[in-house]
């Protein structure tokens, strides 16, 4: 096998891995965050070197900010992404009344 073919396969493997990671983040965000936190915990052990700990801090998922826009869903009260839009729509709500046709 030639060197260029090995490089080509390596690039394709990296692209497929990046595509799988992106799909996993979109379709299963809690699972991917859990895996990311587990990888960061392994890298952040005290006996690891400085480079590994730096990579662990880089890989560590961002914490929840406590607002409804971060998608944590720990409280179970998160509504739609744009809460001001839904509140404004509720105040403009008008009932629909159907009347029978006149003959």
3-state helix, strand, coil in the chain (%, to 5): 55, 0, 45
pLDDT at residue 61, rounded to an integer: 86
Average pLDDT over the chain, rounded to an integer: 81
What CA–CA distance (Å, rounded) separates 86 from 78? 12
Does 102 fall in a domain?
no
pTM for the whole structure: 0.51
In the predicted structure, residue 78 carries a pLDDT above the cut 70: no
Q: Which residue has the higher pLDDT, 41 or 75?
A: 41
The reply to whether 11 falls in a domain is yes
Tokens 């404004």: give the residue: 88
CA distance 10 to 89: 52
CA 82 from centroid of its chain's CA atoms = 18
Look at residue 86 and tell me whether its pLDDT is greater than 80: no
Q: What is the span of the domain harbouring residue 12? A: 1-43
Q: What's the whole-number mean pLDDT along residues 78-84?
A: 55
- Residue 38 in any domain: the answer is yes
pLDDT of 83 > 80? The answer is no
The domain total for the chain is 1
Query: Residue 10 is inside which H or E element, if any?
Result: helix 3-27
CA dist 102 and 13 (Å) reads 70
């Amino acid at each position: 096998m030639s060197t260029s073919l090995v490089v080509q396969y390596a690039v394709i493997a990296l692209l497929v891995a990046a595509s799988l990671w992106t799909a996993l983040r979109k379709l299963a965000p809690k699972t991917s965050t859990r895996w990311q936190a587990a990888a960061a915990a392994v890298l952040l052990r005290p006996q690891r070197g400085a480079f590994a700990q730096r990579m662990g801090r880089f890989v560590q998922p961002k914490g929840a900010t406590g607002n409804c826009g971060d998608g944590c869903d720990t409280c179970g009260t998160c509504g739609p992404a744009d809460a001001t839009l839904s509140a404004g729509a509720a105040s403009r709500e008008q009932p629909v009344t159907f009347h029978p046709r006149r003959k």
